[in-house]
Structure 1
Amino acid sequence: MLNLPVEFKEKYQRLLGDSQAKAFFDALNKENKKAFRINTLKPNQVSYDLSKKVPEISNAYYGEVNGQDPEWVSGTVYSQDPSAMFPAFIANVKEGDHVLDLCAAPGGKSTALAEKLNGSGVLVANEISSGRAKALRENIERWGVKNAVITNESPANLSPHFTQYFDEILVDAPCSGEGMFRKNPEAIKYWSQDYVLTCQERQKEILTEAVKMLKPNGQLIYSTCTFSPEEDEEIVSWLVETYNMKIVPIELASDKISHGKNEWGSVSGLDHTLRFWPQDGLGEGQFAAILQMPDGKIAKVKKQKIKKGDRSTRRLTKNDQKLVEKVLDKFNLNFDWTAAVVRNDHVFLPAIDKDLKGLKIVNNGLELGIMKKNRFEPSHQLVEVLGELPQEDVIDLENQDNYLSYLHGETVRVDSKKLKGFVLVSFKGLIFSFGKAANGTLKNFYPKGLRILKK
């Protein structure tokens, strides 16, 4: 039984009435629902039960994913709360768009946005926390995304570089976390009405920078994982009143999805926003809205002097190209690597060629690998991209013991003696790593930071 604050219970009894409030509080004391999405960028080869679908989302199912499963390690599935899938799902992203996920970690929404882009356009995934930005990179990399720029910045530092640049911006704003109470009871300890109002001010600060980066007629997807009207309907009202934005209706048919309340804000059209209540039975608490910028230049941006481009980045030399080709020519590719550049020996295909000097860039596009003395060593990100297409130079580990040994970082013995050099490593047909084969031995190239303890 959750120990809900008295002030919290009184607030929602006042907002919902005694009957609805009781259903709400009762639902908070029930078990939370787990779900996963299947990666549409990769072959949909999973061993999970797919009989219980998440409403509306074709590639989402209820069920639990283990972090050691080959489906997870290969980036074939992403474990995500079902309600949290909807902000990216409702985004009107088209192939070729410029998209920003401003508060992106751990990456569930970014991976879904990347699927909609389908390798075209660009996704900027930003996270202000350096620790969480690392997890964001791992998840985007695992998903096989090659057109993302991952930044570790405050919105205020990001906006001068991307003034009116994006077609869609998703802001899953930091909030009071009421929607996570049953999933993470520790969040209850931090709750107070003062904290709700503090979060509201922080959300306004973030959104003030976000609108500077949105194109005229561009769309802002705003979401939170809280029930608080101060952070939901009131924020949407503030966006409409401050920036003359328009609330875009969202057409979803499921009876497990509720709508925002006009009486909880100060503008009309709030009933076109979405609310996810635990008593509706879909997932955890969530709020989502789409707002459209008016035509014409709206945001006033203080111009900042941006430094010149980074001279440490260079094109591949002829010798570099030979070394890269020697490794890559055996694989089936869905990109042209010849336009790659080198920076600090890292070979990559940039997702953005505009000047990013002055920003903390965690990753820009597809890292192909590292140039070492007279050789080229391919990257783990490249593996996850190659897993999107059928490949021939693959060694399957065949049994659970070999698979867990490989995840642990061990060299394993394999039957194949025909393949030599860098090969792709799979388990149950799902590609997840590079290895180096020689005389029946498979040298381990699974990244040290991803390795797990062998049971």
Structure 2
Amino acid sequence: MNLPQEFADSMKELLGAVEYEAYLNSAGQDRVHGLRVNTSKITVDEFLKLTPFSLKPIPWVENGFFYEDSQSVTKHPHYHAGLYYVQEPSAMIPADRLPVTEGDCVLDLCAAPGGKATELGAKLRGTGVLVANDISNSRAKGLLKNLELFGIPDILVTSETPQKLLPYFREFFDKILIDAPCSGEGMFRKDPAMIKSWLEHGPEYYAEIQKEILLTAADLLKPGGLLLYSTCTFSALEDECSIASLLRERPDFEVIPMKGYEGFGKGIPGAADGNKQLENCVRIWPHKMAGEGHFAALLKKNGKFSSAWEAAKQKKKKQVLPKECQEFFDQYLKMDLTGRTITVYDNRVYAIPEALGNIRGLRFLRTGLYLGEIKKKRFEPSQALAMSLKREQAKYSISFSSSDERAVKYLKGETIELEDDEANGLKGWILVCVDGYPLGFAKAAGGSLKNKYYPGWRIQ
């Protein structure tokens, strides 16, 4: 790999001669591949019994696994059922080490394409609220799809600058994750094109952006809340120096230890202002772990902790659905929408977490769970609703084995023919599953299933 001389010199200074040679050797090795199990849909043990793939545990996260590149994991029906997310193994660390608990209000500030946001949402298990933001509207669209594929119901997907969120969410969030835009030095092996990008915009360019994002996030976090800052770069200017700057500007913050692993390196106090707290930061080196480069720091905002969700829990009440929507739920689903506000916009029905409050003026792609659309006095359920369900919540369902070619035909949008014994008792809207896990809706008629899989998700 042809590394820029300035980068090579900085790495020699960080690592020393011996470790630098080990780093260079790792840069010539093949990258590794990983997937992360969606534990809001399936347990790790259940997944391992079900999956046909040959997997090896990633030792630093409980629900992560290495897989061989020759295995087509993104073409399997389980992937389209949202049972796992394909993610670089070291990139699994930040969301894993931010201790999200049920009922939290969580912000992923730089969230696209959703690798970390999907894990944060899975930890919430259908409670609290996840705000996932990305300044790029086009990237935010991919983020929304991944969150809906994972079946995460209580979301707000925004496309704003961090500063634009402040009037709506000042000191609102219990937990915040910032996977900051960076120079990407840790991704040189995975994506050599990052070297060209580094030459155009190096650490100095990104460091200023990161400091501004951190200060804004500090004001979005509640007293007592936790913030995890991560990058995929080795540059101390973007890593320890960014954290040191926050500690100077916001003395109510402190860097706290996070769950370790034998391959983790410590932060480097001398790279910033010598603050010993920086040793609690984590550096991930590709010559010490089977993954790419990462940096992570877990910070606490000191002050009295009070969950942002507590006030909303006190005012939970049953919401009234539009008549057409209620008739659909009565006939086909068993689903509790208590604690959510039902909103209808342009005949589309949404169930919005009550904790969100007024967000008028924000640019968002989705608020809450999109239930479906009212069309000519009838209700058509959404793909997002299907993915948020468990099979037992549907009054009528059918499940195909992942080895049944009809599972793939369904994902292609084709009409599905049923055997006589399969069609018996099925009527109207059907939840179509693979190995018991939802893929989407269909309508049963005359021994076949009229495909209602979302056209934008269909495979070729």
The answer, yes or no, to whether TM exceeds 0.5 is yes
**Residues 97 and 179 (structure 1 numbering): CA distance in 2 closer, same or farther, change over 3 Å?**
same
Indicate the percent of aligned positions where both proteins have the same amino acid: 38
The CA deviation at 1:420 is 1.3
Aligned pairs, number: 432
Partners of 1:166 and 1:422 lie apart in 2 by 38
Amino acid across the alignment from 1:116: K
**Residues 183 and 147 (structure 1 numbering): CA distance in 2 closer, same or farther, change over 3 Å?**
same
Q: 1:380 aligns with which of 378, 383, 386?
A: 383
- Please say if 1:393 is aligned against 2:384: no
- Aligned positions of 1:1-400 closer than 5 A: 2-44=1-43, 45=47, 46-49=50-53, 52-63=56-67, 66-192=73-199, 195-244=202-251, 245-252=253-260, 254-266=261-273, 267-295=275-303, 320-327=322-329, 329-333=331-335, 335-336=337-338, 340-351=342-353, 352-387=355-390, 389=392, 391=394, 393-398=396-401, 399-400=403-404
**Residues 113 and 323 (structure 1 numbering): CA distance in 2 closer, same or farther, change over 3 Å?**
closer
Partners of 1:220 and 1:425 lie apart in 2 by 39
Q: Deviations over 1:72-100 (max 9, x none)?
A: 10011111111111111111222212111
The answer to whether the 8 A contact 2:77-2:434 is kept is yes
Amino acid across the alignment from 1:189: K
**Residues 430 and 286 (structure 1 numbering): CA distance in 2 closer, same or farther, change over 3 Å?**
same
Q: Structure 2: state its 5+ residue gaps.
A: 306-318
Partners of 1:16 and 1:240 lie apart in 2 by 25
Matching residue of 1:306: none
Q: Structure 1: state its 5+ residue gaps.
A: 298-314
The answer to whether the 8 A contact 1:332-1:386 is kept is no
The answer to whether the 8 A contact 1:88-1:112 is kept is yes
Q: Deviations over 1:4-45 (max 9, x none)?
A: 112211221122111111111111111111111111111344
The CA deviation at 1:344 is 1.2
The answer to whether the 8 A contact 1:256-1:282 is kept is no
- Please say if 1:438 is aligned against 2:445: yes
Secondary structure at the aligned position of 2:450 is classed as strand
Amino acid across the alignment from 1:27: S
Amino acid across the alignment from 2:132: A
Amino acid across the alignment from 1:186: A
**Residues 193 and 433 (structure 1 numbering): CA distance in 2 closer, same or farther, change over 3 Å?**
closer
The CA deviation at 1:417 is 2.3
Matching residue of 1:404: 408
Between 371-380 and 328-337, report the one with greater CA deviation: 328-337
**Residues 389 and 242 (structure 1 numbering): CA distance in 2 closer, same or farther, change over 3 Å?**
farther
The CA deviation at 1:382 is 0.8
Between 74-83 and 5-14, report the one with greater CA deviation: 5-14
Secondary structure at the aligned position of 1:278 is classed as coil
The answer to whether the 8 A contact 2:131-2:158 is kept is yes
**Residues 447 and 181 (structure 1 numbering): CA distance in 2 closer, same or farther, change over 3 Å?**
same
**Residues 34 and 9 (structure 1 numbering): CA distance in 2 closer, same or farther, change over 3 Å?**
same
The answer to whether the 8 A contact 2:324-2:377 is kept is no
Partners of 1:50 and 1:219 lie apart in 2 by 36
The CA deviation at 1:404 is 2.5
Secondary structure at the aligned position of 1:128 is classed as coil
Partners of 2:290 and 2:337 lie apart in 1 by 38
**Residues 328 and 366 (structure 1 numbering): CA distance in 2 closer, same or farther, change over 3 Å?**
farther
The answer to whether the 8 A contact 2:35-2:87 is kept is yes
Partners of 2:452 and 2:55 lie apart in 1 by 36
Between 92-101 and 136-145, report the one with greater CA deviation: 92-101
Partners of 1:112 and 1:22 lie apart in 2 by 35
Partners of 2:5 and 2:279 lie apart in 1 by 28
Secondary structure at the aligned position of 1:114 is classed as helix
Secondary structure at the aligned position of 1:241 is classed as helix
**Residues 11 and 388 (structure 1 numbering): CA distance in 2 closer, same or farther, change over 3 Å?**
farther
The CA deviation at 1:55 is 1.4
Matching residue of 2:311: none
The CA deviation at 1:425 is 1.0
**Residues 57 and 329 (structure 1 numbering): CA distance in 2 closer, same or farther, change over 3 Å?**
farther
The CA deviation at 1:401 is 3.2
The answer to whether the 8 A contact 1:323-1:374 is kept is no
Matching residue of 1:417: 423
The answer to whether the 8 A contact 1:133-1:152 is kept is yes
**Residues 31 and 216 (structure 1 numbering): CA distance in 2 closer, same or farther, change over 3 Å?**
same
The answer to whether the 8 A contact 1:32-1:283 is kept is yes
